[in-house]
């Protein structure tokens, strides 16, 4: 587990998205900021609400030249069904195997539950962690704060 701080270079990773395509964090470097949302489980009520909220405001992230990545430890097939069912049109990444490795690198893997804790990061175009929040339950103001942070970086 990493003790990740603001100003640190974000741990790089390559994970498969809901379509089975590899997504690598460092591929966005110098091109886009990245908002990373760790969520515990596909199909759970809270996660569904949070991710559909992101979907509904995706254009605001894109306005700030930001890629949105959501990460869980669910298998690829589950996140594909989840994305299709709820019209989630941004990359959902599977940290299924090795189980929780990326969540652990970010210091958000909950060993007792086998899933990431609800956590979010903004990574700037240089690959640096510029904002982070860790929540037990999402609150509407968290998404507003993400958008304010992105606007401040542009």
My answer on whether omega of the bond before 50 falls inside 30° of 0, hence cis, is no
Query: Measured on CA atoms in the order 52, 54, 55, 57, is the torsion positive or negative?
Result: positive
Catalytic site residue 73? no
As a whole number of Å, the end-to-end CA separation of the chain is 31
Structure tokens belonging to residue 68: 């949105």
- From 4, 36, 47, 102, the catalytic residue: 47
CA separation, residue 47 to residues 11, 38, 75 (Å): 24, 10, 16
Q: Which residues are tagged catalytic?
A: 47
């Amino acid at each position: 587990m990493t003790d990740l701080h603001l100003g640190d270079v974000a741990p790089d990773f390559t994970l498969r998205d809901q379509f089975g395509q590899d997504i690598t964090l460092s591929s966005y470097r110098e091109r886009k900021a990245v908002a990373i949302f760790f969520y515990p489980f596909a199909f759970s009520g809270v996660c569904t609400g949070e991710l559909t909220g992101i979907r509904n405001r995706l254009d605001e992230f894109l306005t700030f030249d930001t890629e949105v990545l959501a990460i869980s430890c669910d298998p690829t097939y589950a996140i594909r069904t989840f994305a299709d069912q709820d019209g989630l049109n941004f990359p959902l990444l599977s940290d299924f195997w090795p189980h929780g490795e990326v969540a652990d690198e970010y210091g958000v893997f909950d060993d007792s539950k086998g899933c990431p804790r609800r956590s979010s990061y903004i990574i700037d175009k240089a690959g640096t962690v510029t904002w982070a929040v860790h929540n037990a339950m999402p609150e509407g103001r968290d998404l507003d704060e993400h958008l304010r942070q992105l606007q401040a970086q542009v």
